[in-house]
Chain A
Amino acid sequence: GIQVEQSPPDLILQEGANSTLRCNFSDSVNNLQWFHQNPWGQLINLFYIPSGTKQNGRLSATTVATERYSLLYISSSQTTDSGVYFCAVNFGNEKLTFGTGTRLTIIP
């Protein structure tokens, strides 16, 4: 099956800093999504981005499908950005395979 690796596993930043989270995947995919799991456990869909670049406010994501990686950028971090960020991929069906996540902690 497809392997999904995320880095770094943990990231601690001061409020206002920028961050880059990486997702590597082992095979071609036709769907890649980024999720934020907030401290209360809720999973929020941030982006559907199988290729190219998208932006939503302070967040943006880029997927380079030919090189099998995706990046999530968070600018001007706020404490509400804390939580775990997951990428998830699939190929040929809707069964998502999740990475193990990046735990982001924003310090005021």
Chain B
Amino acid sequence: NAGVTQTPKFQVLKTGQSMTLQCAQDMNHEYMSWYRQDPGMGLRLIHYSVGAGITDQGEVPNGYNVSRSTTEDFPLRLLSAAPSQTSVYFCASSSGIKAFFGQGTRLTVV
């Protein structure tokens, strides 16, 4: 049972490049979400999904897109990377009670 799997673990991008952070879960959870964590701060919600085909914005959605075509996968797309998007990104899935997090992706935009 892998839980929540995120790839890649580390990434360096140049300003203006695009990329997709992958997230997959094998727990059949309907709810999935993306957070970013910046130094000295807690986690802030970027986007979330309550099921396949349904997504919505969180607290800090600008510069990011998501889609949910299957229950298992919830990729996060950076459209045109900016230095302000340097952060650690976490994907989570939830049963409605407990949330489970992936190992995180450390992204640096130069």
Contacts and interface: CB of A to CB of B under 8 A. Distances in A.
Interface of A: 4, 31, 33, 35, 41-43, 45, 48, 86, 88, 94-101
B101 to A, nearest CB: 4
Contact of A33 (B42, B48, B99, B104): B99
Nearest to A47: B98
A52 to B, nearest CB: 14
A95 B45 contact: yes
Interface of B: 31, 33, 35, 40-45, 48, 50, 58, 88, 90, 92, 94, 96-101, 103-104, 106
A31 B104 contact: no
B104 A98 contact: no
Contacts of A98: 35, 42-44
Contacts of A86: 42-43
